[in-house]
Structure 1
Amino acid sequence: MTTATTIPSPAPVMGGIEPPPTILSRVAIGDFLRRTAQRDPARTALVDGGTRLSYGALDDRVSATANALLATGLAPGERVATLCNNSADFVAAFFGIHRAGLIWVPINTGLGLDDVRYILEHAQASCLLVDAAVLARPGLRELLDDIPLRSRFIVEGEADGAYAGFAAARDAQPAREPEVAIGDRDVAQIMYTSGTTGRPKGVMQCHLAVVMAALANAVELGLYRDDTANAVLPLFHCAQHTLLCCSLMAGATTILMRSFDPAAVLDAIERERITRLFALPLMYQAMLEHPSFARRDLSSLRTCMYAMAPMAESLLRRLIERFCPNFMLGSGQTEMYPLTVAFRPEEQLRRFGPYWGVSSVLNDTAVMDDEGRLLGRGEVGEIVHRGPNVMLGYYRDPEATARARAFDWHHTGDLGMWDADGQLLFKDRKKDMIKTGGENVPSVKVEAVLLQHPAVANAAVVGLPHARWIEAVTAFVVLKPGYSTCETELVEHCKAHLGGFEVPKAIRLLDTLPMTSTGKVQKQPLRERYSDLYSG
């Protein structure tokens, strides 16, 4: 039996009694899927277009995948990278990586070529699984040819030169779970952060963190085997990945989607009777404004979750009235496997602003000052967490790891405050707090005001170098289709809702904002591109 690299075992406990052997008490990502398959083998696990995969069939495919990877000579603890979009084969692939005791390195298919190279080399990947459609991206094959990988496979598509067909390799293996020892603190995956500033950092998550997060999320959502969920966001991102895991743990059905199309999601809600929907605010708005919306039957929806971007009050009220009565905001980050906090449905119309709600059942959440003191209600500080969903650390970056866990708490880089009722209020990213003329201006506060304007679809606010103000509050705005406005009108709108020092010194109308694949605005490109806006 091959053993994966583990963190040293704890000292004997309880009067010299040794902890139980790993195989007796282990927590492993591949195990909960097997257990669900044993309980409900015929129940539909995944729907991928015209393919409907039962739990039994998915579990068999995962075991065969694990055997196919080990048959290449890979040893538990080696890294297997993926460049794949959502599909049933992709799900089987990364669960197979886990079941083989290998370490999954998901790569965002929308990253620039330099970042793809950096991640593969920094993670020291031994094997790559890639979709044919992704491999066809200009320049990618040439880049990959320069990287010394021991094996390369096409997940979705046919074999192509040095890239073997993974389906054929998988189907040639027995659907029998391999005997691999896995410790609950073994590294299960290294997810690289989006890299909005500098190079991406590899976040190491262990099996225990992912399994515990999935279990806690099923509790928070009240998820059960009669539920049907969607997966329209990319599975290489922690938010969609953890929600898929909790659905598979609960025995629910997940409808996979390759990309977002408002009509296609509305079709899926009606056809599959989706009960749990997860999307970004802009996606909900696109569905609400689709010409076919008025005749849609959305009565199956029980809870709609949103994340990663603020929800304007006007949009939220319309959605609760016309889309689904129960909306929930979930927050977290790759380093502290989500959910860490949730703004629950019963709170959504009781208070407005950038609320994140209350801590998950899984972890502790606090607000801390720069000296490590925990702060009380009404005091602004950094949001910090503790719990089993915390990362093991940043791969090959001990200095950044030490900074992230100062004072024995995980530091998020987010500023927040508990309100009088014990609800967590997000103030800003630490690095996005604008210091202008001796005053602190939360960029998120100005963005929220701009989003209240009927013509504004999206907004990003940053501080840019200024000779007088040190940093000048500067806004970049994208308008809704068919709407028009001007900088002067938007400035007057801000003056009606903000203090004088908070009003943008300049507002630029753009066609688009730089975004990550998961709908987060990337502010660093705006800072770089417009760094000399106020020069002279």
Structure 2
Amino acid sequence: MPAATTGLAPSPALADSQGQISRISRIALGDVIHRSARRFGARTALIEGEHRMSYGELDAATNRFAHHLLGLGLPSGARVGMLCNNSIQMVVAMLGIQKAGLVWVPINTALAVDAIGYILAHAEVRHLVIDTALHAKPALRALLDDTGVAPLLCVLDGDTPPAGIPTVAQAIAQGPQTLPDVAIDSGQLALIMYTSGTTGRQKGVMHSHASVHSVLLSNMVEWGSSPERADVWSSVLPLFHCGQHTVLMSALAVGGTLVILRGFDPGAVLGAIERHRISVMVGLPMMYGALLAQPQRAARDLSSLRLCVYAMAPMSRTLLLRLLDEFCPNFALVSGQTEMYPGATIFEAHEQRKRFGSYWGVGTLVNEVSVMGDDGALLGPNEVGEIVFRGPNVMLGYYKDPEATANAQRFGWHHSGDLGKLDDDGQLIFLDRLKDMVKSGGENVASIKVEEVLLRHPGVMNAAVVGLPHDHWGEAITAFVTRRPDAQSPLTEAELAAHCKAHLGGFEVPKEIVFLEALPMTSTGKIQKFELRQVHRGYYSRR
């Protein structure tokens, strides 16, 4: 496997006659802010509460952070972890890591401690940027102490950092403000972003500078952004996910302004739209439903909104039409996955009133999307198969897992693990998942991981976890369980829910636990999850 794929070292770069690495034609994520600062220097790049940072200030701060990391002696390609919620300091650290030629390893802050520990060990992280509030949690602090990972703290308003541990603010208070002279090749590993695998262990998805950068220009065009328009973008979704990260980088590349919110509160989001004149909103269907229902909405001036992008799942016809009439005149569904940096497909704004259902639309400008049969043959209109992609934004592969990489890239296409078909107009329709993955509230949850926890309980005979349609969550994690007949006392839902909360991240805990006399099985003893999804599809609508 090439060095860029293993992440152990950067791939070879062109050198001039003096042996200096050429920057003439490279593609590097850190150069996005460097170049934008030269053009939009005084323009506001980031807003968080009362804090504002211009492009020039962001460029200088990220350069200083990069120099700080290089001063620690970190070699090119070293992994730097990040365990942070949205903040300006998080963005500064992230871009500084890229400018230093290091590998950014973002970690979902809602994961259980053992899952965080697995990522740190698997990615061989030795330095971690972490929020002060998270570092204060005893279990996380003990993990860092035990593993020898060196923390560097993001200190937010109201936080009190412990003595003796450096902070991001200290790192950017001094040092050179110039772009570090670091060798970065376009195909070099830029980030490892962990996503839940169907085996229950997270998979490290590797992307190069070029693969992420390739989709930024596509996003700008698809979403109608330009330097002259100077859009103000929302940053509500977590930046440790690929969806909000691609929004951040696209906005910075085109000279937009990002309004950073630390979590989703409908009232706060409506206030931010009005106050900062947000023109491009990015959220989940459940978020838009909550915004529509918020009592203060009618009193807010939302006229600045020109485009609302939704992701992860389609919206019901009723909700979508209300949003188009009452919230924003243009909505578009953008899909992708960590392995296929978003957007990979777009259900365009002009289609929203024409077609309803599980439409994912068409491939974006840099992507080719098709439907494939088991034998690798591409299928025609209305034939059902696996959704596959080609494009420059496909991952390098799974870190330390060449077998899984080869399986995902067989027949020369990236395999999404989703089932779909193309209609007569070439519009992609999502049908089901081949992988046992539930997409709930913006998070991917491996059903097998939840099942393994359920099966650890002595009162459980068998368990199956599926995602069922839910107006708020998109898909609600739902556990179907059979009890052990020899248990001393009947297992209760509350008892099993407490067991799950003790062993899973909060977003992984089932929303409902349903006890059945028996689970549907094939003749070979395999649980028929498709039947569970079909029979119980209306479970939450009936409640």
Q: With structure 1 as the length reference, what TM-score do the two structures score?
A: 0.80
Cα drift, residue 130 of structure 1: 0.5
More deviation, 77-86/171-180: 171-180
User: After the TM superposition, which residues 383-422 of structure 1 pair with which residues of structure 2 at under 5 Å, given as runs?
Assistant: 383-422=387-426
Match of 2:290 among 286, 292, 303: 286
User: After the TM superposition, which residues 146-161 of structure 1 pair with which residues of structure 2 at under 5 Å, given as runs?
Assistant: 146-149=146-149, 151-156=150-155, 157-161=159-163
State the AA in 2 paired with 1:38. R
State the AA in 1 paired with 2:34. R
Partner of 1:172: 174
Aligned with 2:41: secondary structure?
coil
Q: 1:332 to 1:176 in 2, by over 3 A?
A: same
Cα drift, residue 24 of structure 1: 1.9
- Is 2:376 aligned against 1:372? yes
1:354-407 deviations in Å (ceiling 9; x for gaps): 000000101111110111000011001111111110101111111111111001
Cα drift, residue 425 of structure 1: 0.2
Partner of 2:454: none
Aligned with 2:172: secondary structure?
helix
Cα drift, residue 459 of structure 1: 5.2
CA distance in 1, matches of 2:45, 2:477: 42
User: After the TM superposition, which residues 71-220 of structure 1 pair with which residues of structure 2 at under 5 Å, given as runs?
Assistant: 71-149=71-149, 151-156=150-155, 157-161=159-163, 163-195=165-197, 198-220=200-222
Q: 1:461 to 1:259 in 2, by over 3 A?
A: closer
Q: 1:405 to 1:170 in 2, by over 3 A?
A: same
Partner of 1:243: 247
Cα drift, residue 346 of structure 1: 0.6
Q: Do 1:335 and 1:390's aligned partners in 2 also have CA atoms closer than 8 Å?
A: yes
Cα drift, residue 224 of structure 1: 2.1
Q: 1:531 to 1:408 in 2, by over 3 A?
A: farther
Match of 1:295 among 290, 295, 299: 299
CA distance in 2, matches of 1:261, 1:320: 21
Q: 1:457 to 1:47 in 2, by over 3 A?
A: closer
- Is 2:336 aligned against 1:353? no
Q: Do 1:196 and 1:522's aligned partners in 2 also have CA atoms closer than 8 Å?
A: no
Q: 1:328 to 1:533 in 2, by over 3 A?
A: farther
- Is 2:231 aligned against 1:227? yes
Aligned with 1:202: secondary structure?
strand
Partner of 1:440: none
Match of 1:341 among 335, 339, 345: 345
Q: Do 1:30 and 1:95's aligned partners in 2 also have CA atoms closer than 8 Å?
A: yes
CA distance in 2, matches of 1:419, 1:259: 37
Q: With structure 2 as the length reference, what TM-score do the two structures score?
A: 0.79
Q: Do 1:418 and 1:424's aligned partners in 2 also have CA atoms closer than 8 Å?
A: yes
Aligned with 2:404: secondary structure?
helix
Match of 1:7 among 7, 11, 16: 11
CA distance in 2, matches of 1:535, 1:340: 36
CA distance in 2, matches of 1:402, 1:419: 29
Cα drift, residue 59 of structure 1: 0.4
CA distance in 1, matches of 2:92, 2:277: 24
CA distance in 2, matches of 1:419, 1:463: 33
CA distance in 1, matches of 2:217, 2:51: 27
CA distance in 1, matches of 2:474, 2:428: 24
CA distance in 1, matches of 2:160, 2:64: 19
Cα drift, residue 159 of structure 1: 4.3
Q: Do 2:111 and 2:505's aligned partners in 1 also have CA atoms closer than 8 Å?
A: no
Cα drift, residue 252 of structure 1: 0.6
Q: 1:463 to 1:310 in 2, by over 3 A?
A: farther
Q: Do 2:101 and 2:183's aligned partners in 1 also have CA atoms closer than 8 Å?
A: yes
Aligned with 1:245: secondary structure?
helix
State the AA in 2 paired with 1:155. C
CA distance in 1, matches of 2:221, 2:263: 28
CA distance in 2, matches of 1:459, 1:70: 43
Alignment RMSD: 3.0
Partner of 2:38: 38
Q: Do 2:478 and 2:514's aligned partners in 1 also have CA atoms closer than 8 Å?
A: no
Q: 1:171 to 1:129 in 2, by over 3 A?
A: same
CA distance in 2, matches of 1:462, 1:165: 41
Aligned with 1:92: secondary structure?
helix
State the AA in 2 paired with 1:123. A
CA distance in 1, matches of 2:359, 2:476: 18
CA distance in 1, matches of 2:69, 2:473: 45
Q: 1:234 to 1:208 in 2, by over 3 A?
A: same
Q: Do 2:479 and 2:514's aligned partners in 1 also have CA atoms closer than 8 Å?
A: no
Partner of 1:504: none
Cα drift, residue 309 of structure 1: 2.7
Q: 1:122 to 1:161 in 2, by over 3 A?
A: farther
Contiguous gaps of at least 5 residues in structure 2: 1-6, 15-19, 439-465, 483-496, 521-543
Cα drift, residue 5 of structure 1: 2.4
CA distance in 1, matches of 2:421, 2:412: 20
State the AA in 1 paired with 2:419. L
Partner of 1:256: 260
Q: Do 2:314 and 2:359's aligned partners in 1 also have CA atoms closer than 8 Å?
A: no
Q: Do 2:237 and 2:244's aligned partners in 1 also have CA atoms closer than 8 Å?
A: yes
1:307-366 deviations in Å (ceiling 9; x for gaps): 113311111010000001100000000001010000011101111110000001011111
CA distance in 2, matches of 1:273, 1:535: 52
State the AA in 1 paired with 2:388. V
Partner of 1:16: none
CA distance in 2, matches of 1:282, 1:463: 21
Q: Do 2:309 and 2:333's aligned partners in 1 also have CA atoms closer than 8 Å?
A: yes
Aligned with 1:53: secondary structure?
strand
Q: 1:372 to 1:22 in 2, by over 3 A?
A: farther
CA distance in 2, matches of 1:355, 1:220: 17
Cα drift, residue 171 of structure 1: 1.6
Q: 1:187 to 1:518 in 2, by over 3 A?
A: farther
Q: Do 1:329 and 1:343's aligned partners in 2 also have CA atoms closer than 8 Å?
A: yes
Q: Do 1:233 and 1:518's aligned partners in 2 also have CA atoms closer than 8 Å?
A: no
Aligned with 1:330: secondary structure?
strand
Aligned pairs, number: 460
Cα drift, residue 176 of structure 1: 1.3
State the AA in 2 paired with 1:212. S
